[in-house]
Structures are given as structure tokens and as C-alpha cells.
Copies of this chain bind each other. A is one copy, B any other.
Amino acid sequence: MVMDDEVPGAVGTSASFALRFGQTIFSAASLLFMSLGVEFHNYTAFCFLVTIMGLVIPWSITLALTDIYSVLIRCPIRHPGILLFIVFGDWALSFLTLAAASSIAGIVDVLQRADETFCAAGLCSRYQISAGLAFLSWFLSMASSLSNLWFLSSLTR
């Protein structure tokens, strides 16, 4: 059921569920590439990425479940307060994700030049893949946030 004023990607639609599913997958993959068998706690930025991904994953799963529920009962959320909370949460998490991914990308570039032995055993490519997955997660979070902001703006008028 598509309503006239429904915004694709706003909370309670199947597009929103697809975005949340993508965020969960990319965040979990980024976390795994960063943390499994690697001493990620050597640098602040690596710990930062792991922390942020640990926040993004439960946030995205919760909202994905909300989307499934809303689609099944065919009743999207239209409460401006809840929407504002979701927009703000997505907004904050997407910026933190982008900041963490950029830090990792910059640091890997510096460490590759400073220390030839650092990139032994494919560590650098693992870090780079992790940063790339975090960038994808950021992009989907941003899309969710903008969709919900547009929907919120259409509700309050």
C-alpha cells in the first residue's frame, strides 16, 4: 500500500527496510574486518570505528524491525517527535561513521609510508576494506536521515 504523501526511504516503508538492512550488513562487515584477529586497539581511530560500529548495528537492527512491523500492519509512523529522534540519531551516527572511516583511510596512508613492515600479512588492505564498508554504511545512514527529514518536513506543514 503506497500512500500519497509517503516518502520512499522514510521510516515504515519497504525502502527504509532495505536501507536499514544494508546499514546492518556493511557495519557488521566493517566491524569484523577491523576487529577479527587484528590488534585494533593500538590507535585511537581504530577503537573509535569499532565503538561507532557497535552503536550503528543495534540502531539499524531496531529500526529495521520497526520497518518490518510498520509494513506488516500497514501503518507508518507519523509522530513528529519520534521522526525527529530518528532523524537526529541517523544524522549523528552517519557523521560519526564518516569521521571514523576518514580517519582510518588517512592513517593507513600514513602508516604505509612510515613503516614498510606495517602492511605485512595484508593488514593494510583489511583496514582499507573496513574503511570502505564504513563509507557505504555512512552513505545509507545519510539517505535514511534525509528521507526522514523530508517526510518530517511534509508532516509539519
Contacts and interface: CB of A to CB of B under 8 A. Distances in A.
A150 B156 CA distance: 11
Interface stretch (A8-16, A18-26, A59-67, A94-102): A94-102
Q: How many interface residues does chain A have, given as a range?
A: 20 to 34
Contact of A44 (B99, B109, B149, B157): B109
Interface string A75-109: 00000000000000000000100111111111101
Interface of A: 43-45, 95, 98-107, 109-111, 113-115, 146, 149-150, 153-154, 157
21 contacts: A43-B109, A45-B109, A99-B99, A102-B102, A102-B103, A102-B106, A103-B103, A103-B105, A103-B106, A103-B107, A104-B106, A106-B106, A106-B107, A107-B107, A107-B110, A110-B111, A114-B114, A146-B149, A149-B149, A153-B154, A154-B157
